[in-house]
Chains A and B, each alone.
Chain A
Amino acid sequence: GAGVSQSPSNKVTEKGKDVELRCDPISGHTALYWYRQRLGQGLEFLIYFQGNSAPDKSGLPSDRFSAERTGESVSTLTIQRTQQEDSAVYLCASSFISSGYEQYFGPGTRLTVT
């Protein structure tokens, strides 16, 4: 079946511009996660959605970062006024339920801020 998809796969933007990243989770997965991974580093949790509950935004690094999810489907991660330190791979994952269930990752969006 279809896995997690993300778009775009690569994004190059100028410092100060806004970017929007998209994630389509596996159908039926109620939980959705966004992570950031800088080159050579581990996964950095950003935000988590579970069904219709309020999202856990505790990992968002600044108020320039925001995310939305429509029901149990598509999610978008928005970064406003991008900075060079935002350059990273942004990974989305989904799981059937939250804690205790394995997560499946999309291929990521590689963001480069020039």
Chain B
Amino acid sequence: RKEVEQDPGPFNVPEGATVAFNCTYSNSASQSFFWYRQDCRKEPKLLMSVYSSGNEDGRFTAQLNRASQYISLLIRDSKLSDSATYLCAVNGPYQLIWGAGTKLIIKP
């Protein structure tokens, strides 16, 4: 089992819809969790940190489920500009462990 797993997608979603995807992790001792966004041929950019209580930033909501060892990202009222690959990252002993990413395509 990989340390951090994501559904590669692609998720094809109509504009304005709500979409959610998860990221599972294997190390129950992990304490820090992040969502990054990577546009085509660009570097990953930090989207949100994921806190124990969950956090929201505009249309984006991130949550942590420690019992089932996954984090989630919810995007409401999706825009064409949300099309990207979403990477999750979970702390390991000395560095972040990365998922392979979920590709999201928003269609008009």
Interface residues of A (CB under 8 A from B): 31, 33, 41-43, 45, 48, 50, 56, 89, 91, 98-108
**Residues of B with C-beta under 8 A to A104:** 46
Tell me the number of A-to-B contacts counted with CB atoms below 8 Å.
Answer: 48
B44 contacts A56, CB within 8 Å?
Answer: no
**Residues of A with C-beta under 8 A to B94:** 48, 50, 56, 98-99
A105 and B43 in contact, given A33-B95, A50-B94, A99-B91 (Cβ under 8 angstroms): yes
A99 contacts B32, CB within 8 Å?
Answer: yes
Main secondary structure of the interface of B (DSSP, over half): loop
**Residues of B with C-beta under 8 A to A91:** 43-44
B100 contacts A42, CB within 8 Å?
Answer: yes
Question: How many angstroms from the CA of A42 to the CA of B95 in the assembled complex?
Answer: 16
Interface residues of B (CB under 8 A from A): 31-32, 34, 41-46, 49, 87, 89, 91-96, 98-101
Q: Which residue of A lies closest to B97 (CB)?
A: A45
B93 contacts A99, CB within 8 Å?
Answer: yes
Q: How far is the CB of A87 from chain B (nearest CB, A)?
A: 14
Main secondary structure of the interface of A (DSSP, over half): loop
Q: A56-B94, A103-B89, A105-B43 are in contact. List 10 more A-B contacts (CB 8 A).
A: A42-B98, A56-B95, A89-B41, A98-B95, A99-B95, A99-B96, A102-B46, A106-B43, A107-B42, A107-B43
Question: How many angstroms from the CA of A108 to the CA of B44 in the assembled complex?
Answer: 10
Question: How many angstroms from the CA of A43 to the CA of B83 in the assembled complex?
Answer: 19
Question: How many angstroms from the CA of A91 to the CA of B101 in the assembled complex?
Answer: 16
